[in-house]
Amino acid sequence: MSEDIILKCENLTKIYGNEENKTIALDNVSFNVKRGQFISIIGASGSGKSTLLHLLGGVDKPTSGSVFINNIDIHSLTENDLSAFRRKEIGLIYQFYNLLPIMNVKENILLPSQLDKRKIDEKELNDLINVLGLGDRVTHLPNQLSGGQQQRVAIGRALINHPALILADEPTGNLDSKSSEEIVELLKVSNKKYNQTILLVTHDEKIAKEADRIITIKDGKIVKDIEKNEE
């Protein structure tokens, strides 16, 4: 495996339901991702893009196939090791932000590193908060923030542990166009500034085009995989 390959997906299949009533969500999907790539995964509703993201993030198990992140087969890990792996190597961003309502902006961002008992680098944290544009909101609770601001907190939370991979599932799905642009811009900045590998699931072609590479999924299969420089 080449050194700059951060993610390797081999024959990934996910089938829901039983024999009589089965749905193939993902059908033998294989692809590689290089470190620092910004990838969009697009497809129609029900095409399997979110399922792919869940399998890559280790929150769901494949029916068959493997996912290697930094050369580790994540689905062969024990539940506890997988938790630790997710904490350290994967940042998840959701459509509905999923912040803890009882914790303020700073606490929500710090949550993964605190769960990992990491020492906090205040300078780095402040830098991140400034990049996120949340400098004057650190002590606010999620319900005191706009949708865009909440999503920025979620991005901060995903970035805090310098994960190998950021998986964003429709992060702009719940936002107005202005906020959506800001979020995508932020993801691009983190991709450039921190050399962060990002996989973004979206059905918005305009947003998808902002990525270096666009993977199109249909009926659980990759039907198109285009890198920008190939275009």
Partner 1 sequence: MNILSSIAWKNLKRNKKRTIATSIGIIVSVALISFIFTLIYSFQNSMIENTKKSVGNYHIHIDETASEVATKFKQMQKIEKVGISQTIGASDYETQIYAKQGIRIEAYDETSLFNRDISIIEGRLPKNEKEILISSYLVNNMNEPVKIGDKLTLDVQKVKLTIYNDGKDSVLEPDGVEKVVYTITGIIKQTRQEASSSNAYIAITKLEQIEEARPCEVTILLKNPKEENAFYQALMNTNLANHVSENSELLLWQGATNEMNEKSQMELIGILSIIIVVAITIILIRNSFQISISERMKEFGTLISIGANSKQITKIVLLEGIIYAIISIPIGLILGIGIVFFSTRGIGNVLENIYRNELNIQFSINGLFVIATILITLLSTFISCIKPIKEAKKASPIEVIKQNNEIKNKDVKISKVKSKFLGIEGELAYKNIKRNKRKYCSTTISISIIMILVIIVSGIIQYVFSIVNNTYMPTNRNIDVGIIYGYGQEETSTVFKNFDRIKKQDSIIDYSILVSFKGIIKENNKSISIYGCEGKQYKDYLDNLGLKYEDTVKTGIFISNNPIVQEGQTLNIIIKNKEYEIPIIKTSNLDPYMQLSGFDNPKILNVGNYEKLVISNDIAKTIDIDDERDSNVRGNFSMDMKINSSNPNQLEKEILQFVNPNKIAVVNYTKQKEDAQRISTIMSIFLYGLLLVISLIGITNIYNTITANMNLRKREFEILKAIGMSNKQFNKMFTYESLLYGLKALIIGTLIGILLNYGIYSILKAKQNMPYYFPIVQIIIMLIATIMVIHISTKVTWNKQELD
Chain residues binding partner 1 by CB under 8 A are 50, 54, 57, 59-60, 79-80, 83-88, 90, 92, 94-96, 98-103, 107, 110-112, 114-116, 157, 169
Segment (H or E) for 27: strand 23-34
- Closer of 53 and 131 to partner 1 (Cβ): 53
Comparing CA positions, the residue from 231, 178, 220, 228 lying closest to residue 40 is 228
Which residues, other chains included, contact 173 with Cβ-Cβ below 8 Å and sequence gap of 6+?
95, 202
- Closer of 5 and 103 to partner 1 (Cβ): 103
Annotate 181-192 with DSSP letters as a single string.
HHHHHHHHHHHH
Q: Write out the two tokens for 141.
A: 């609770």
- CB 35, min distance to partner 1, A: 21
- Closer of 117 and 229 to partner 1 (Cβ): 117
From the DSSP assignment, how many helices (H) and strands (E) are in the chain? 7, 10
- Closer of 79 and 136 to partner 1 (Cβ): 79
- CB 209, min distance to partner 1, A: 24
- Closer of 8 and 86 to partner 1 (Cβ): 86
- Closer of 54 and 213 to partner 1 (Cβ): 54
- CB 49, min distance to partner 1, A: 12
Which residue in this structure is represented by tokens 């979620």?
A: 154
Whole-angstrom Cα distance, residue 37 to residue 31? 13
- Closer of 50 and 149 to partner 1 (Cβ): 50
Distances (CA, A) of 230 to 152, 213, 225: 31, 9, 10
- CB 84, min distance to partner 1, A: 7
- CB 177, min distance to partner 1, A: 21
- CB 202, min distance to partner 1, A: 15
- CB 149, min distance to partner 1, A: 17
Bridge partners (DSSP) listed for residue 67: 9
132-140 long-range contacts (CB < 8 A, ≥24 apart) are 132/156, 132/186, 133/182, 134/105, 137/105, 138/104, 138/105, 138/106, 139/104, 139/105, 139/106, 140/104, 140/105
Q: Write out the two tokens for 143.
A: 């319900």
